[in-house]
Structures are given as structure tokens and as C-alpha cells.
Structure 1
Amino acid sequence: MLDTQNIQCPYCWETTELVIDPSEPHQEYIEDCFVCCRPIHLIIDIDHCGVANIQALSEEDDIY
């Protein structure tokens, strides 16, 4: 079952709904903002209760 969470773009601050697959406990990928088209680095960790912890990072915040 897919879950949805709202995230805020780290560039334009627009709120966007994100669809999350809770079957994968750690997810990391880039998704472009639907408003400003800048790349958002998403880091998603699902805890043992199924609660998603989401980090939405800009290129400046990126931990690579």
C-alpha cells in the first residue's frame, strides 16, 4: 500500500504531495520540484512502525 506525505521544496518553498512506498525501509533519490523544476534530493527512512522520516534537500544541503 502506498502512502502520501507533503514535503516542502527547499528552493521555492512550495508544498507538494509525495507518494511513498513503505515496503522499502530506506529510499534515496532525486525528484524535480513540480513548480520550480529544481532537483530535490529525497532521503526517506521508514521506521519499524511504518512512519516515514523524509528529508528534502537542495543541492547546497546535499550530503554527497
Structure 2
Amino acid sequence: MHNLEPSIIQCPYCGEAIEVLVDCSVQSQEYIEDCSVCCRPINISVESWQGEVVNIEARSEDE
């Protein structure tokens, strides 16, 4: 069963705060999600521990 937790990140392109759902059943993951405001692709890195997000980073494609 997936443990989805909402997290707030800042888009590296437009600067807007957006909410993403993170699967906390996976300890370490990287994925791409489009910004819900400007539609540009954001590289998201997430570290989870015991069902909670401990670190989340949002980067542009060129970083």
C-alpha cells in the first residue's frame, strides 16, 4: 500500500509554491513532475523515512 503525503515545493522556474504528492513507502526516489502553474518539468528528489518526508528538493532540468 502506498503512503502518499502532500509536500510543498517551490518551482525553480516561476517561483510558485506548489503541492506534490510523495510516495513515502519508497526511501529514496527521483522523478519529474510538471509545475501546475507554468507547466515546466521539475526534477524532484525525495528522501523518506518511516513513512514521512525527511528531505525534498526541486531543481530545474539544467541543474
Is TM more than 0.5 here? yes
Q: Which residue of 1 aligns with 2:53?
A: 51
Higher relative contact order (CA 8 A, sep 6+): 2
TM-score by length of 2: 0.83
Q: Distance in 2 between matches of 1:49 and 1:38?
A: 28
Q: What stretches of structure 1 of length at least 5 have no aligned partner?
A: none
Aligned ranges for residues 1-64 of structure 1 at < 5 Å? 1-48=3-50, 50-61=52-63
Bigger proportion of residues as strand: 2
Stretches (4+) displaced over 4 A = none
Aligned length: 61
Identity among equivalent positions (%) equals: 49
